Amino acid sequence: MTQKNYSRFADKWKHAAHPARPCKEELQVFEKFIKEHKKVLILGATPELRDLCHKYNLQVSLCDINPVMIKEMSKLIKHKGKERIYIGNWLKIPTDDTFDLILAEQSMNIVPIKDWDAFLKEVKRVLHSKGEFVSTISSLRDKKGHAKSLLEIAKEYNQYNRSVLYLHDRFIHTKHNYNKKTKVATIAKDVELCTKLYKQGLITKKEYALIQKKWGSIAKGNLVLYLLFQKELEKKLKKYFLINNSIVLPKAKDHTHKYKPFYVLKI
């Protein structure tokens, strides 16, 4: 994102909902790891993660390229505490320090895929030899579902109790949004596709209003997600780390967690 878009994204964050922001169940998983460590580096300025780290009095550092993002996100923190702030790119984190826990909430998905090797090398560099890198990372899972038509998706919508989260997740991971060449999907395109269904009478006015409430503000921030299919993603992770665990929330309340597991990575 550009400097202007980062600022806009930070401003819109407080109005956003899951899956743009981590949900209660995801925060419980992060909390489990936070309780076991003392020195943490957060990639980005996610207020929910910073809150949890301050709750357990960890030594908190965070790295983000944009000081405006940090300033705006800091306004949403409930548990205030000392933080060491690194203004810099995740491809070149400006410290030689190491951390026993590194946390990220889909951070890798906003890094262009051409830079994933550099990103993973840099995270490995600042991770303590006995530390853990815990991150949610979205990937594409269902190649057959990837090709489904809008009408097929609308029909499935009924099978998922007309969950607007299902529409969001399905669109992100289909040909209607995901560009195979650039490996990119956008929240803006997601909302645009929901608008099409609304105009065709396939979702109600109330459901469409909920979609706008949950993701409309983030869509205006021009958020781009870089995605690979799961096997390609894990092959990339294994070049630099041991995948100690992959956690998918059990019988998830929504469709999102199927595509956005937690990866627990070690050196």
Domain 3-139+229-266 has CATH 3.30.470.30: no
How many whole angstroms separate alpha carbon 101 and alpha carbon 62?
A: 12
Whether the pLDDT of residue 158 is over 50: the answer is: yes
pLDDT of residue 242: 98
pLDDT in tens, 160-180: 677 777 777 777 777 888 888
What pLDDT score was predicted for residue 125?
Answer: 98
pLDDT band at 9 (very low <50, low <70, confident <90, very high): low
Task: Kindly list the distances between the CA atom of residue 224 and the CA atoms of 1, 186, 200, in Å, as whole numbers in the listed order.
Answer: 8, 5, 26
Split at pLDDT 50, 70, 90, the class of 39 is: very high
pLDDT at 63: 97
Q: Which residues of 54-93 are buried (b: 16+ CB within 10 A; e: fewer)?
A: bebebbbbbbbbbebbbebbbebbeeeeebeebeebbbeb
Instruction: Name residue 83's amino acid.
Output: E
Residue 241 pLDDT level (bands cut at 50, 70, 90): very high
Task: Give the pLDDT confidence of 181-231 residue by residue, as tens digits.
Answer: 999 998 888 889 889 989 999 889 998 888 887 777 777 767 789 999 999
- Indicate whether 109 pLDDT > 80: yes
List, for residues 90-99, the tens digit of each pLDDT value: 999 999 999 9
Pairing of strands 83-87, 99-105: unpaired
Domain with CATH 3.40.50.150 in the chain: 3-139+229-266
At residue 18, does pLDDT exceed 70? no
Decide if pLDDT at 24 tops 60. yes
**pLDDT score of 2:** 47
Question: What is the residue type of 129?
Answer: S
Above 60 in pLDDT, residue 85?
A: yes
> Whose CA is closest to 60, among 27, 101, 32?
101
The pLDDT value given to residue 41? 98
Q: Are strands 262-266 and 127-136 parallel, antiparallel or unpaired?
A: antiparallel
Q: Can you tell me which residue has the tokens 């092959």?
A: 235
Is residue 33 within 8 A of residue 41, CB to CB? The reply is: no
